């Protein structure tokens, strides 16, 4: 049965995509973390794929990076 958790590879892939988007905007992890209302350490863990994200956290980051969420 699927527990609803994203597997490690997908978390790492998502973190890599967030890092690339952040770097394209010329933002630091600290700037994104502040806009997303989280600590820089937590945001860094997200980029490294080390945490399970809630939809609310994803939404905060997406808004900070001015991205769109696509679910397929």
Instruction: List, for residues 34-53, the tens digit of each pLDDT value.
Output: 999 999 999 999 999 999 98
Mean pLDDT of all residues in the chain?
88
Q: What is the pLDDT of residue 69?
A: 81
Q: What is the pLDDT of residue 8?
A: 58
H or E stretch at 62:
helix 55-65
Distances (CA, A) of 37 to 25, 46, 55, 70, 71: 18, 14, 14, 22, 24
CA separation for the pair 20, 16 (Å, rounded)? 6
Q: What is the pLDDT of residue 7?
A: 54
- Class of residue 44 by CB neighbours under 10 A (exposed 0-12, middle 13-18, buried 19+): middle
* Domains of the chain, each with CATH number or no CATH: 8-65 (1.10.260.40)
User: Does residue 3 have a pLDDT over 60?
Assistant: no
């Amino acid at each position: 049965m699927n527990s609803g958790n994203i597997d490690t590879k997908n978390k790492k892939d998502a973190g890599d995509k967030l890092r690339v988007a952040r770097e394209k905007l010329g933002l630091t992890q600290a700037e994104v973390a502040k806009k997303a209302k989280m600590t820089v350490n937590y945001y860094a863990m997200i980029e490294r794929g080390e945490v399970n994200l809630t939809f609310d956290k994803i939404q905060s980051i997406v808004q900070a990076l001015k991205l769109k969420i696509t679910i397929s």
